[in-house]
Copies of this chain bind each other. A is one copy, B any other.
């Protein structure tokens, strides 16, 4: 009784079969269906995802964030090639709510990860370019599930630091990685934006250019982590130095991801985090749906603006205004 009872259309059953058979074309078409904003497509997408769901979940989901210029695509390309050579299959997704405005998107320019794009074991998909962070995030979350059902056992979710995108991505991955440049300015930015608190691993890139600067950046970031990161019994986030360009430190990075996963699995935290993320996500969508219905209610629409003005100007208390508006809902 908990499942959506939608039956699959024949063409959607073909998508499901194709994804499970690891066909790239079916995978790409399924994600396109998910990203569509048309109501009938959304209905169909829900049914497809529901059918794929039992085959999803068997991956490690890694979020990678870093300011422009930190070398995210070079890093992902080096990491991806390393992982494929080690027998993994890798999907790279992106969360970039600014892509609607900028036209371009991270990952939009496929030439950025040229050698990775040529590998059969890699699937690279740019950010959905439809509006709000919440919408982009929802579609990316669902794309993760579909990629897992298609047999990708490593899912990378890349994000740039737009608004709350890092926190959003951290809420959909198992491990959140912060990629840093070896300079104090970049560290300051990360601290100010509150990303240091949510990082499970920090990687200082471009260590080949000035190894001493990288070592200093590393010890400063370690201090900042100790100060800012809430103490966990299970995991103290490490700070690594690498050179993505020279492919140095990539294996050591993945060793840390392995160690992280093993540690959290042993502590029961890995599954607990996924459960928490799913429930948080359900409630976020419920809250957003409730607000949407609320704003669409005729009586609310008729008085929301004047009441907001009254509250802002101190003529009505926030409590009274909230009560009046909520009371409207009864009188439908």
A interface list, Cβ under 8 A from B: 1-4, 46, 49-50, 53-54, 56-57, 138, 141-142, 145, 188, 191-192, 194, 227-228, 230, 274-275, 278-279, 281-283, 285-287, 289-291, 293-294, 303, 306-326, 329
Contact = CB atoms under 8 A, between A and B. Distances in A.
Given A285-B318, A306-B2, A324-B4, A230 B192 contact: yes
B1 A306 contact: yes
Given A4-B320, A46-B323, A317-B142, A311 B282 contact: yes
Given A50-B317, A278-B317, A282-B319, 4 more contacts: A3-B315, A46-B319, A191-B227, A192-B227
Given A1-B306, A287-B287, A291-B287, A228 B311 contact: no
Nearest to A286: B322
B281 A286 contact: no
Majority secondary structure of chain A interface residues (helix, strand, loop or mixed): helix
Contact of A329 (B50, B227, B293): B293
Copies per assembly = 2
Contact of A315 (B2, B138, B329): B2
Quick one: which of A49, A285, A286, A326 has the most chain B CB within 10 A?
A286
A83 B192 CA distance: 36
A316 B285 contact: no
A65 to B, nearest CB: 19
B314 A57 contact: yes
A2 B282 contact: no
A2 B310 contact: yes
14 contacts: A1-B306, A2-B306, A2-B321, A3-B315, A4-B320, A57-B314, A142-B319, A188-B227, A191-B227, A278-B318, A279-B318, A281-B319, A282-B307, A282-B319
A268 to B, nearest CB: 14
A1 B328 CA distance: 14
Contacts of A53: 314-317
A329 B50 CA distance: 22
Nearest to A272: B312
B1 A322 contact: no
A71 B306 CA distance: 44
Given A56-B314, A286-B294, A314-B53, A46 B320 contact: yes
B145 A282 contact: no
A228 B192 contact: yes
Contacts of A321: 2, 282
Contact of A316 (B3, B188, B194, B319): B3
A331 to B, nearest CB: 13
Contacts of A145: 317
Given A290-B291, A311-B279, A319 B138 contact: yes
